[in-house]
């Protein structure tokens, strides 16, 4: 079996049990997304604590109720971090929501960082998918399904994540009236290039001389000035193909800040439900039936637009 299941996970499974509507409460930072939780659902918190951390393997295993802030504070001592966004909340919540960090180009996507998930099934059983190694094609990738599943297929108990080194240098710059695409294309792997239709913000990360050289390059292109942190982001999040950002005015999103080269847009108004084809809907529905036939996990929430 993949690794050892600790007692905290067994206790969590026992607490969940095999019957009755149930939901896990993390930091509640995205509590209202994908429907309203049925009031009869029993609310539990996932166990907390870092189980193992091996800096030389660039792997950390933590229980799902651990906050992302605590995780990152722990990893920082060894100069490492994960792809999880630093926006409050728990590790399990961050995986269940699946939102990438603002600096996704530098830190990588959440779904690429998840190496193993242990979850409690609708039957109350402990199930593992993936393994605590950085490369693995052994069996089906169940754990991929859990990123962004909002706890509707199983309740996340423990997660193993790939970690990354924290770059030596980090620098935010901003300028007005620049072509953000030109900026994006002129830089080698920027951590983020943001644009609100007027101002452009650039986040550079890497070795100090590389960051300084990129800064010099930017200063030749426009009047960039260094700032402490990036912009405040509007509350709602859109997901668009990166090329669509150049016609962003066609969307009714209000004031917005777009991540160039990525396609994430933070906006004043929420993104309408996106359509999907029949084949995908059928499989999503079947998955829900297979993993939670009694609809006891996070009742009231639904991922995907099947009916």
Partner 1 sequence: MSLVGRFRKAIGLSTLHDPLVADLQKALSSDRVLQDHEDRLLHSKDESVFEGGIAGPVCFPLTTEEVQSIMKIAQRYDRAVVPRGAGSGLAGGAIPLGAPIVVALTKMNNIIEVDVDNRIAWVEPGVINLELSEYLRPMGFHYAPDPSSQQICTIGGNVANNSGGPHCLADGVTDTHVLAIEVVLPDGEVTRFGGLDPEPEGFDLRGAFIGSEGTLGIATKIAVRLTANPEAVKTILISFPTMRAAAETVSAVIADGIVPAAMEAMDQRTIEVIENHIPAGYPKDVGAVLLVEVEGLPDGIEIDAERICEIATTHQAEDIRIAQNSWQRDALWKGRKSAFGASTYISPNYYLHDTVVPRSALADVLDQVNEIAAKNDLTIMNVFHAGDGNLHPLILFDAEEEGTLERVHAVGAEIVKISLEAGGVLSGEHGIGIEKQQFMNDLFSDEDLNHQNRLRFAFDPLCRINPGKVLPMGHSCADIQTLHKPPEGVWV
Q: Considering only residues 197-216, where is the footprint of partner 1 by CB under 8 A?
A: 206-207, 209-210, 213-214
- Strand 236-239 and strand 192-195: the pairing is unpaired
Q: Which of 51, 90, 99, 301 binds partner 1 (CB under 8 A)?
A: 99
Q: Which residues contact 196 (CB under 8 A, 6 or more apart)?
A: 231, 255, 256, 257, 258
Report the b/e string of 161-180 with b at 16+ CB within 10 A.
bbbbeebeeebbbbbeebeb
Q: Which of 284, 296, 298, 301 binds partner 1 (CB under 8 A)?
A: 284
Residue 282 vs 294, nearer CB to partner 1? 282
Burial of residue 235, with CB atoms counted within 10 A of its CB: 0-12 exposed, 13-18 middle, 19 or more buried: exposed
Decide: is 58 part of the binding site for partner 1 (CB under 8 A): yes
* Angle in degrees, CA 177, 183, 189, rounded to 5: 150
Decide: is 32 part of the binding site for partner 1 (CB under 8 A): no
* Angle in degrees, CA 23, 270, 200, rounded to 5: 120
Decide: is 111 part of the binding site for partner 1 (CB under 8 A): yes
Residue 14 vs 176, nearer CB to partner 1? 14
In whole angstroms, the minimum distance from the beta carbon of 151 to partner 1 comes to 12
Residue 42 vs 207, nearer CB to partner 1? 207
Q: Which of 21, 35, 263, 300 binds partner 1 (CB under 8 A)?
A: 263
CA torsion, ordered 58, 239, 143, 16, to nearest 10 deg? 110
Interacting span for partner 1 (CB under 8 A) from 67-75, 170-178, 219-227, 242-250: 242-250
Decide: is 79 part of the binding site for partner 1 (CB under 8 A): yes
Of 145, 91, 156, the closest CA to residue 118 belongs to: 156
Decide: is 221 part of the binding site for partner 1 (CB under 8 A): no
In whole angstroms, the minimum distance from the beta carbon of 39 to partner 1 comes to 25
Q: Which of 26, 65, 180, 261 binds partner 1 (CB under 8 A)?
A: 261
Decide: is 239 part of the binding site for partner 1 (CB under 8 A): yes
DSSP for 223-260 reads --EEESS-PPPPSEEEE--GGGGGGGGGS---SEEEET
By CB under 8 A, the residues from 161 to 200 that bind partner 1 are: 164-166, 181, 188-189
Decide: is 33 part of the binding site for partner 1 (CB under 8 A): no
In whole angstroms, the minimum distance from the beta carbon of 152 to partner 1 comes to 9
């Amino acid at each position: 079996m993949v690794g050892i299941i600790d007692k905290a996970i067994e206790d969590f499974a026992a607490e969940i049990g095999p019957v009755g509507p149930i939901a896990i409460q993390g930091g509640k930072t995205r509590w209202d997304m994908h429907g309203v939780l049925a009031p009869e659902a029993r609310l539990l918190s996932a166990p907390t604590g870092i189980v193992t951390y091996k800096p030389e393997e660039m792997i950390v295993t933590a229980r799902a109720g651990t906050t992302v802030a605590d995780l990152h504070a722990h990893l920082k001592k060894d100069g490492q971090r994960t792809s999880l966004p630093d926006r409050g909340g728990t590790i399990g919540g961050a995986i269940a929501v699946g939102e990438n960090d603002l600096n996704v180009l530098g830190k990588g996507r959440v779904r690429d960082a998840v190496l193993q998930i242990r979850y409690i099934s609708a039957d109350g059983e402990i199930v593992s998918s993936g393994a605590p190694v950085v490369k693995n094609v052994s069996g089906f990738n169940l754990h991929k399904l859990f990123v962004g599943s909002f706890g509707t297929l199983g309740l996340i108990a423990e997660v193993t994540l790939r970690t990354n080194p924290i770059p030596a240098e980090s620098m935010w710059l901003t300028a007005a009236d620049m072509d953000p695409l030109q900026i994006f294309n002129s830089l080698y792997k920027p951590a983020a290039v943001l644009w609100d239709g007027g101002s452009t913000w650039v986040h550079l990360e890497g070795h100090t001389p590389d960051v300084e050289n990129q800064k010099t390059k930017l200063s030749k292109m426009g009047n960039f000035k260094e700032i402490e942190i990036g912009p405040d982001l509007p509350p709602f999040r859109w997901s668009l193909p990166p090329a669509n950002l150049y016609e962003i005015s066609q969307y009714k999103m209000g004031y917005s800040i777009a991540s160039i080269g990525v396609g994430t847009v933070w906006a004043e108004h929420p993104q309408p439900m996106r359509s999907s084809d029949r084949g995908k809907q059928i499989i999503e529905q079947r998955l829900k039936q297979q993993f939670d036939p009694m609809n006891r996990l996070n009742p009231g929430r639904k991922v995907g637009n099947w009916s």
